[in-house]
Amino acid sequence: MVTLQDTLFWTGHSGFYIKAKGKTIFIDPFRIGSGITGKADLILITHAHFDHCDPESVRRVMKPGTEVMGPADCLESLKIKDGKAIKPYHSEIWNGISVSAVPAYNIRPERLEFHPKKNGWVGYVLNVGIGEGDFKIYHAGDTDFIDEMKGFSKYGIDVSLLPVGGTYTMDVDEAIEAAKAIASKNTVPMHYKNLLGKDGSKSAEERFKKKVSGAYIMKEVQESTYSF
């Protein structure tokens, strides 16, 4: 039987790839090293910041026929002319996989300049349909705990990928509240190891596991060699 461990892989920071229905989907590939040899059938970009929209990493995982979706400014930054520009609430079926873009932005006053709502940046809800039925993965992108998340429980999300690093996104405590509102079966923290340092990252993981039902701490599939 196909499991979460066979489907979702963390490449570090906010980068993941998903293997489902014979396809590979990369989300926000960042500083992809030589250890990642798989190629993407689809690349999804959440927003235009360098640690999510990394031209070199996108090139490394592309192959002939790879499709790229993301906000228009991301495609421009990547110099991809035949990509699909999307906005929040865009939804489509791609090779039998449901891809829905959802809002991602800051609301805390000290963060408003980092991810303004007006930019139209996104997270994604994917129904990758592993195993016997539906399997929904939510990648939040860079965001605060926004009102839209309070309605996400209706999606029946199986796995939520939530930033916890603070400064630019939700911190651990805010992500805990977001996780409770979304009520997914499992919640994976992301966007923190290279912001909080080793000791801070361990503390964040411990607090997250203690407070979030179904918290799932993933191991990166490549060595983290980057820093900010």
Domains of the chain: 4-211 (3.60.15.10)
The pLDDT value given to residue 225:
58
* 1 has a pLDDT exceeding 60: no
The pLDDT value given to residue 177:
98
Site of tokens 């892989």 = 9
**Nearest Cα to Cα of residue 166 among 139, 149, 143:** 143
Give the pLDDT mean for 65-90: 97
For the record, the structure tokens of 168 come out as: 């630019």
Give the pLDDT mean for 41-49: 98
pLDDT tens string 99-156: 999 999 999 999 999 999 999 999 999 999 866 578 999 999 999 999 999 999 888 9
Are 45 and 54 contacting, i.e. CB atoms less than 8 angstroms apart?
no
**Count of Cβ atoms closer than 10 Å to residue 81 Cβ:** 7
Average pLDDT, the chain: 93
E strands within 13-158? 15-20, 23-27, 42-44, 67-70, 84-85, 91-94, 97-103, 122-127, 136-139
Give the pLDDT mean for 178-187: 96
**Nearest Cα to Cα of residue 40 among 23, 20, 55, 28:** 23
> Higher model confidence: residue 2 or residue 129?
129
The pLDDT value given to residue 224:
63
Give the pLDDT mean for 22-32: 96
* 23 has a pLDDT exceeding 80: yes
Are 164 and 171 contacting, i.e. CB atoms less than 8 angstroms apart?
yes
